[in-house]
Amino acid sequence: MLDTDDYMYVAAFNYKTESVSEDIKLSRLGIASSDVKGIKELWTGQDVSLKGEEIPFSLPDFGVKLYRIDKKGTGTGVSDLTTPDRKITGWVKDDHLFIQTEKDLKDILIYSTQGALLKKLPALSSQTYYDINIADLPKGIFLVQAVTSPQDSECLKFIK
């Protein structure tokens, strides 16, 4: 997946020796149907209709489809969430979220893109590196709020 201001590009691959018919859930992409202006399969040029909150697709054995989702307005709202001088960085590897900070943290909060609080972790005084197990989270886009004081926090996004 590639997400830009105007478009989201999504590829579907079939590595099997048999055809498949499945759906791509928009929630997994971090976008709602209300944010979708249109969808085009780029190899064939065909327009694709949503099935509720999902993109239906069928692929022959070893087939590939590439979709361009035209977004309404500013799209998903997931972009750079803090200023360039931020003091907190993060990355995902396997089923772990790693956070490194130059500031003391009070709490680490993980939210879904719909705003639901999924995890609240108290930060340890003077700790600068965190390894958070995220194996229990579904695949998708998530937001992390690193609280540094009651009035200040920094936000990061990650994709699992």
Contact 145, 155 (CB under 8 A): yes
102 phi and psi angles, rounded to 5 deg: -100, -5
In tens, the pLDDT along 17-32 reads: 999 999 998 888 878 8
Predicted pLDDT at 149: 78
Domain boundary among 37, 71, 105: 71
Which ranges constitute the DSSP H helices of the chain?
A: 26-29
Predicted pLDDT at 159: 82
Tokens representing residue 94 in the block: 């396997």
What pLDDT band is residue 62 in, cutting at 50, 70 and 90?
very high
Domain boundary among 17, 42, 71: 71
How far is CA 135 from each of CA 53, 97, 108, rounded to the nearest angstrom? 24, 10, 17
In a domain, 77, yes or no: no
What's the one-letter identity of residue 113?
Answer: T
Q: Where in the sequence is the domain holding 151, given as residue range(s)?
A: 88-159
Tokens representing residue 15 in the block: 């590595």
- Helix (H) / strand (E) containing 59: strand 54-59
What's the one-letter identity of residue 70?
Answer: D
pTM of the model: 0.48
Predicted pLDDT at 86: 62
Number of domains composing the chain: 2
Predicted pLDDT at 83: 45
In tens, the pLDDT along 70-90 reads: 987 543 333 334 444 567 778
Average pLDDT over residues 101-109: 85
Predicted pLDDT at 130: 87
CA–CA gap between residue 88 and residue 153 (Å, rounded): 10
